[in-house]
Structure 1
Amino acid sequence: MGADDPDTLEPTACPTAGDIPMLGLGTWENTDADQCAESIRTALETGYRHIDTAQAYDNEAAVGDGIAAADVDREEVFLATKVWLSNLAPDDVLETTRESLDRLGVDAVDLLYVHWPAKTYDAEETLAAFSDLYDEGLIENVGVSNFLPEQLETAVEVCDAPIVANQVELHPLLPQPELREACEVHDVEVVAYSPLARGGVFDHPTIQEIAAKHDVSEAQVSLAWLRENDVVAIPKATGVDHIRDNWASLSLELDPEDVAAIEAIDDRERTVDPDFGPWNQ
């Protein structure tokens, strides 16, 4: 069935993967403090319960302001942030995480990620510091981001605290089946950043055809496909219309032939590809 009109959609409960709401709001590049805070407030009051930020996004304070301004209890919000690659030495993990909590205005975050396995990252030492934060109750869960299967396996082995998520770029143009399989083996949830391929899905004929069939946006098709594959998605959105349109994807049920058509896409596009990415080493 098609999704409801996003202008009239009433907030509904979002499905979860483990404890993680399957649709969240990403905040990468949302650096205008007032706009960021308003986006967070709008999303939470629309029904979102998962907010994702990072030290490197330079917006943790604005994210905290948005959470505080929303008519939603903090306990209902699944809040995630990430430790930047220059802060992954043990003492820096501990110090900068406390600074992140101060900026966010919270006593703890629900999920703390290693942003990239690069620069100052050392599996045993870095993750020991994450485990210390977990034991202190400053973080509820440990996550990793941009980890390849072999790096994930090592992290799971050496981290005393359970690793619950691996956040990676994932969308119909970069489906990453091997990585998803590795996460399943280790009972780690997959969280997709750039789930719309930074706009790439809007121009793909297969996605366009499915969107027209259901009278929905291409964004909704991509997000519904991720949900169909048990992948958490955190699309960035700033304006009310985009926030609500992404939320409306929860009402879209793709037909088996839709899923098959998306799975048959052989175009590949990685939109986040820094030199220090582990796939470039």
Structure 2
Amino acid sequence: MADSAKEDAAASFAPLRPKLIRVAYRMLGSVTDAEDMVQEAFIRWMGADRSAVREPEAFLRRTVTRLCLDQLKSARLKRETYVGPWLPDPIVEEEPEEDVTLPLMLALERLSPLERAAFLLHDVFGLGFEEVAATIDRDPAACRQLAARARTHVREGRPRFQVEQQRGVELAQAFFTASRSGDLKALGAMLASDVSIHADGGGKRSAAMHPILGFDAVIKVHEQLAALFRKHGSDLVRAGFINGLPGFVTREADGELQSTALEIEDGKVVAIYIVRNPDKLGHLH
């Protein structure tokens, strides 16, 4: 391929890369896998007859989605042997991402690959069913059914109560301070009675093998953690929104990063999502 053709291909692809990463990440829940799928789409774009492509964005979105559908088959096998709870890679942003929050991404995990694709393309990215059908190689009526089934399954993953942005930031900051200092009274005032902890260590770092459920159990865990924090330290690296939820990134005593995201309803923390698996935190460095 001539250098000018390569440059043209790269120039037309570059503005679309962030959108394609967005699609791939929401399909897969993995930053590394999403980047791999988009890079493979770029390779195919370089080799395609681009003069015959009327809508490059639609063509590339279709390519990325189909690559992700293939990838999801192997991802499901990995999930079955994953050590402990699985959480998506944390994406940290200054502004909350409200279309696909962390609880919704977990709900998407229960869908078939085609349901997931139909729901994301139509309900999240706003594509018509004709375009969805062309993307996943099904007829529009089937795509409507796939999206409807998906909608039923993921409804519980939608936030029932939107948290005002500043209030979410304040709660996350207060949670960090109370949890690291061992102020269990202040911490307890933030927690719902049915609060839970979901920690993803992936077998690479210590983490609870099952979700920790209920106020008393969560307080007990934080009582034990506070002693470790006071002895070894836990430094705040960045506060922000993690997959749409208020939270923060810390550097722990072992030198590794950790992300903590808080799901909040009615002003109380109802779920704490902690990612400790270093494989999922590399992009935050």
Scaled by the length of structure 2, the TM-score of the pair is: 0.27
Look at both structures and tell me which one has the larger radius of gyration over its CA atoms: 2
Q: Which has the higher helix share?
A: 2
- TM-score in terms of structure 1 length: 0.27
The higher relative CO (CA closer than 8 Å, separation ≥ 6) is in 1
